[in-house]
Amino acid sequence: MVYRTYYLQQDGQETYVQGLFEQFSARGHDAMLEPAWAGTLARLYTPARYLFHTLQMASAYLSQMAPASTISNCATYQTADALRWLTHTAYRTRELATAFPAAGFATGERARWEQDPAWQGWRELVERALVAWDWGESFTAFSLVVRPAVEETVLRGLGEVARHNGDTLMGLLTDAQLLDAQRHRRWAAALVQMALQTEGNRAVLQRWVAAWAPLAERAIERYVAALPEAGDLAVRAQAATRQWREGLGL
Q: pLDDT, tens digit, for every residue of 96-141?
A: 999 999 999 999 999 999 999 999 999 999 999 999 999 999 999 9
Q: How far apart are CA 187 and CA 69, in angstroms?
A: 13
pLDDT category at 2 given cuts 50, 70, 90 is confident
List the one residue out of 98, 87, 111 whose CA is nearest residue 17: 87
Instruction: Tell me the average pLDDT across 224-234.
Output: 95
Q: How far apart are CA 241 and CA 51, in angstroms?
A: 18
Q: What are phi and psi of 7, to 5 degrees?
A: -60, -45
Average pLDDT, the chain: 96
Reported as type and span, the H/E element at residue 186 is: helix 168-195
Instruction: Tell me the average pLDDT across 156-164.
Output: 97
- E strands in the chain: none
3-state secondary structure of 69: helix
Q: How far apart are CA 204 and CA 185, in angstroms?
A: 20
pLDDT score for 1: 81
Instruction: Tell me the average pLDDT across 191-206.
Output: 98
Residues 6+ apart with CB under 8 A from 78: 55, 59, 184, 187
